[in-house]
Amino acid sequence: MALRKKGNIKLKNRFLEILFNARALPFTLTFTILAVLFVGFRMKGIEQAYALNNIKSDIQKAIIRNKELKAERAREMSVPRLRELAVKYNLKEPGPEQIILIP
């Protein structure tokens, strides 16, 4: 068992010597930096995708809400509803000169 651990330590030391020698250090650092940047950009891309999906969801909700409000406005501005309100508040029909259309 002691021999196995000693061999494992020698292997680790040899690996570290190769990895951090004067020739391999620039490649090691470059690869490490590129790997970290790749992971960072990938995470940022995923984060942006989630944000985009949330924005699309909000847009769909706003479109649906807009349709609901237009339908409610049409119900409130319908002729039967207006006549009902006129009876409720004791109003009479306006004359032709009193009608103004607002788009």
Give 19-68 pLDDT, tens digit per residue.
Answer: 778 888 888 889 999 999 999 999 999 999 999 999 999 999 999 999 99
In the chain, which ranges are E strands? none
Q: What are the residue ranges spanned by the domains of the chain? A: 6-89
Looking at residue 56, its amino acid is K
**Model confidence at 7: pLDDT above 70:** no
41 near 35, Cβ under 8 Å?
A: no
81 near 89, Cβ under 8 Å?
A: no
Rounded CA gap, 5 and 12, in Å? 11
